[in-house]
A and B are shown apart, each in its own frame.
Chain A
């Protein structure tokens, strides 16, 4: 069953931004020919809800105990950074949120992961739908070998959207949100592979946002990019958090400090500490955390 992309979206709220990346202010263009609006689920104000939750979550690669009883609560509309030395399990944990680990033979899980109302590992969970709601951006930009437009439209087409005007509108909105629109608006038909690395990564973000996820996972999103492109991705993350819940794995602690609201420190598969970023980086509770972030080890 393909999910119906709701045809009657409420107008997207203006993304609050202190300054513009690129030269154009994003116009909030209403969708074409909208019939009576149906209220969209889950977009209501109120106390911060927990968007992502893990309970005693463990993962084994065969005999190797890769994640050890991780307990994590991530509020909606925040950026959480996951830091830790190589091999600590941060990417494994990230990939558990959208079950990308299913693709690895011999993986076994225990415990529970929930995204809003959804039990991620329940046998009845539609994994394709899960991966729409929980999008992912990878370390190396991986645009499809298609046009810029088709990259963003692809997921929408897979979901059954045919109306050309609506596709165009949604592609534009996604590229606006990803701060790429002004740079590509005049060449949507050209190959995505002709873009620079930083632009390709923003295209991948636009592609991810097009299908209206709730959670966006980012696995070292800027580590393949130069400092300027990295800065733009960081600014983008800060802007996106008003609409999405973001989880960013990064080996760059300073980046984690700059962009996240909460930071989780992992070591050898275990969650050592998770706290508000401002607290974790100024006065962590755990000795191990302090030793790691001050560079005593790792």
Chain B
């Protein structure tokens, strides 16, 4: 006998996936707007973000209602609380998309500083991680979710590399500072999107296994993230 509330949970899941799809799409459009130097496309991103904000509110209300009316337990309870956090993460992805779109508008008004290579790469990685995170959510696949968490390092490394490259541009030519800073911000926003994707993956592990792996809680005794070599990063003071 299928219980009534099962449908309610399915509806919540569907809404979250919708939200995820929109968040992915926002990042894609924002990067397109940046590459094509297209302020009109950038403005669409800002509109699209409003829909995401509304979805977050709806999902939050729905989760509170489900907690009150259905008294979920065990994995159902973890699913509801994790869904609230995931919707919050997705809403912030939308915000980062808006930030990128804002930079795209500013940069489109100035001559191109350099051909964009690393930023589109970062964007592809971050968007891929987001899609993968949502996939693991649908399948409640904790193993794939853990794998995903490790991919964050690649995005962080690209971010630092780009930062150093842009610094050298700025040193060489102070007239490039405004544009270079915008690109630093874009990279920073993409790095945050990748972080948010790992947050979602961590929530998926919580739903599937009731284990909280945030803040490197699963690190080995030496403080290394298991299975991943930790590059020496004294110069970065542990920033990601």
> Interface residue count for A (Cβ, 8 Å)?
16
Q: Which residues of A contact B239 (CB under 8 A)?
A: none
- CB of B70 closer than 8 Å to a CB of A: yes
Q: Does A21 contact B (CB under 8 A)?
A: yes
Query: Whole-angstrom distance between the alpha carbons of A282 and B64 in the complex?
Result: 7
Among B2, B69, B71, the residue within 8 A (CB) of A18 is B2
Within 8 A of B (CB), among A1-50: 18-21
When distances are taken between beta carbons in the complex, the residues of chain A under 8 Å from B71 are 254, 257-258
- Please state if B68 and A282 are interface contacts (CB–CB under 8 Å): yes
Tell me if B's interface is mostly helix, strand, loop or mixed. Answer: helix
- CB within 8 Å of A: which B74-127 residues: none
Q: How far is the CB of A80 from chain B (nearest CB, A)?
A: 15
Counting from the closest, the 9 A-B pairs by CB-CB distance are: A19-B2, A281-B68, A257-B69, A282-B68, A254-B71, A21-B1, A278-B65, A238-B4, A18-B7
Do A235 and B3 have beta carbons less than 8 Å apart?
Answer: yes
**In the complex, which residues of chain B have a beta carbon less than 8 angstroms from the beta carbon of A19?**
1-2
Q: Does A277 reach chain B (CB closer than 8 Å)? A: yes
A residues in contact with B2, CB < 8 Å:
18-19
Residue from the list A20, A258, A278, A282 in contact with B5, Cβ < 8 A: A258
Give the CA-CA distance A258 to B7 in the complex, in Å.
13
Is there an interface contact between B4 and A18, defined as CB atoms closer than 8 Å?
A: yes
Q: With an 8 A cutoff between CB atoms, is A232 at the interface?
A: yes
Closest to A256 in B: B69
Min distance, Cβ B16 to any Cβ of chain A, angstroms: 20
* In the assembled complex, A100 has its CB within 8 A of some CB on chain B: no
Is B3 a contact partner of A231 (Cβ separation < 8 A)?
yes
* Closest chain A residue, CB of each to CB of B5: A258
Q: Which residues of B contact A281 (CB under 8 A)?
A: 68-69
Q: A232 contacts which chain B residues (CB < 8 A)? A: 1
Q: Please measure, in the bound complex, the distance between the C-alpha atom of A186 and the C-alpha atom of B1, giving whole angstroms.
A: 21
Contact A257 B1 (CB under 8 A): no
Contact between chains at B69 and A231 (CB < 8 Å): no
Q: Tell me the complex Cα distance, A238–B1, Å.
A: 13
B70 and A257 within 8 A (CB): yes
B-side contacts of A282, CB under 8 Å = 64-65, 68
Determine how close the nearest CB of chain A comes to the CB of B67; give it in whole angstroms. 9
The proximity string for B residues 1-41 relative to A, scoring 1 for CB distances below 8 Å and 0 otherwise, is 11111010000000000000000000000000000000000
Q: Find the A residue at minimum CB distance from B7.
A: A18
Chain A stretch 211-251: residues in CB contact (< 8 A) with chain B: 231-232, 234-235, 238
> Which residues of chain B are near A278, meaning CB under 8 Å?
65, 68-69
**A235 proximity list for chain B (CB < 8 A):** 1, 3-4
A258/B1 contact (C-beta < 8 A), A18-B7, A282-B64 known: no
Whether the pair A257, B5 counts as a contact (CB closer than 8 A) is: no
> Which B residues form the contact surface with A (CB < 8 A)?
1-5, 7, 64-65, 68-71
A111 to B70 alpha-carbon distance, docked (Å):
36
Measured in the bound complex, the distance between the Cα atoms of B71 and A282 in whole Å is 12
Chain B contacts for A231, CB-based, 8 A: 1, 3
Chain A residues contacting B68 (CB-CB under 8 Å) are: 257, 278, 281-282
> Can you name 26 A-B residue pairings with CB atoms under 8 Å?
A18-B2, A18-B4, A18-B7, A19-B1, A19-B2, A21-B1, A231-B1, A232-B1, A234-B4, A238-B4, A254-B71, A257-B68, A257-B69, A257-B71, A258-B4, A258-B5, A258-B69, A258-B70, A258-B71, A277-B69, A278-B68, A278-B69, A281-B68, A281-B69, A282-B64, A282-B65
B5 contact set on A, CB distance < 8 A: 258
Given A235-B1, A258-B5, A278-B69, 17 more A-B residue pairs with CB atoms under 8 Å apart are A18-B2, A18-B7, A19-B1, A20-B1, A231-B1, A231-B3, A232-B1, A235-B3, A254-B71, A257-B70, A257-B71, A258-B4, A258-B69, A258-B70, A277-B69, A281-B69, A282-B68
Q: In the complex the two chains form, what is the Cα distance from A257 to B66 in whole Å? A: 10
Q: Which residues of chain A (124-183) have a CB below 8 Å from chain B?
A: none
Shortest Cβ gap from B104 to chain A (Å): 41
What's the minimum C-beta distance from A227 to chain B, rounded to whole angstroms? 12
**Which partner residue on chain B sits nearest A231 by CB separation?**
B3
A281 to B68, CA, bound (A): 6
Nearest residue, chain A, Cβ from B67: A282
Shortest A64–chain B CB gap in Å is 35
Chain A residues whose C-beta falls within 8 Å of the C-beta of B3 in the assembled complex = 231, 235
